[in-house]
Chains A and B, each alone.
Chain A
């Protein structure tokens, strides 16, 4: 196998690995996005807010922080019921 063949093989392997990692990331993110999309819509936000789960590491924190500290446009449970 020539040197060029090795480089091409490594490049191919790394790109495949990258794709696999991306695919798994998307799969896990989707597991979070689907329920969070519905929660965001029920809270009165756009469902697209849940797409922050695609951001690695801090995306989930952003979605949760918006839901936890923002005032829900669709209304929150009154304080007396909490």
Chain B
């Protein structure tokens, strides 16, 4: 867009100082525009400022066309939003070609499920839907929605912490006496959080739980 402005400014006989201020303003706005599209801001700045060099003012014009038609990182980041071309807000899509592309950042909505029994024979069934980033496994009564209570004397108060992140599930021992085991291997507090997304079973003290997804 700098080309037309530079040409017009010359056409109207404005001083070169005013043209310089205008170019700086355009460069600043170009910085903000490419940032909103998801590119680094300096690309927009450089695209406008090359017109000050001997390259010629055709370059920013070409870059404007390129910018208008290339893929923007913004569209990859947020997936499909209303208003984005490809998912028209009004009217059904014209055909299969108009279907929006699959979102790459779609979170995994399936929940985790721990099933087992305490040593007293009580059935344990815990569902982790990922609505919270952390959950605490404890034998005390649940005081918060993120407290998962397992009424067994071998389970600590608290015993371990579950961490959710998208399609991944983590487990961290909180220094329990009964110990935490992932597929039979001891998890120590100094191990910090371990990914148990692919684990089949965990054991908290004497309570063995099988891990499934639903």
A: residues with CB less than 8 A from B are 28-29, 31-32, 34-36, 38-39, 41-44, 53, 56-57, 60-61, 63-65, 67-69, 72-78, 81-82
Q: A41-B85, A43-B36, A67-B29 are in contact. Are A60 and B1 (CB under 8 A)?
A: yes
Picked from B4, B30, B41, B83, the residue with its CB within 8 Å of the CB of A74 is B83
| Residue B213 interfacial (CB < 8 Å) | no
User: What chain B residues lie within 8 Å of A57 (beta carbons)?
Assistant: 8-9, 12
CB 8 Å contact bits of B20-42 with A (1 = contact, 0 = none): 00100110111011011110110
Q: Which one of B9, B29, B64, B82 has the greatest number of beta carbons of chain A within 10 Å?
A: B29
In this complex, how many residues of chain B approach chain A with their Cβ under 8 Å: the count is 37
Interface of A is mostly: helix
Check B32–A61 contact: CB distance below 8 A.
no
Check A56–B8 contact: CB distance below 8 A.
yes
Which of B73-81, B132-140, B174-182, B183-191 lies at the interface with chain A?
B73-81
CB nearest neighbor in A for B83: A74
Check B81–A74 contact: CB distance below 8 A.
yes
CB nearest neighbor in B for A28: B4
Q: Which one of A31, A60, A73 has the greatest number of beta carbons of chain B within 10 Å?
A: A60
User: What chain A residues lie within 8 Å of B37 (beta carbons)?
Assistant: 42, 76-77
- How many A-B contacts at CB < 8 Å in the complex? 96
CA distance A69 to B32 in the complex (A): 8
Check B85–A77 contact: CB distance below 8 A.
no
Check A77–B36 contact: CB distance below 8 A.
yes
Picked from B7, B67, B77, the residue with its CB within 8 Å of the CB of A39 is B67
Picked from B40, B64, B68, the residue with its CB within 8 Å of the CB of A82 is B40
User: What chain A residues lie within 8 Å of B9 (beta carbons)?
Assistant: 57
Check A75–B85 contact: CB distance below 8 A.
no
Check A36–B84 contact: CB distance below 8 A.
no
Q: A38-B69, A76-B74 are in contact. Are A29 and B4 (CB under 8 A)?
A: yes
Q: Which one of B1, B28, B65 has the greatest number of beta carbons of chain A within 10 Å?
A: B1
Check A64–B33 contact: CB distance below 8 A.
yes
Q: A32-B64, A36-B68, A73-B83 are in contact. Are A61 and B73 (CB under 8 A)?
A: no
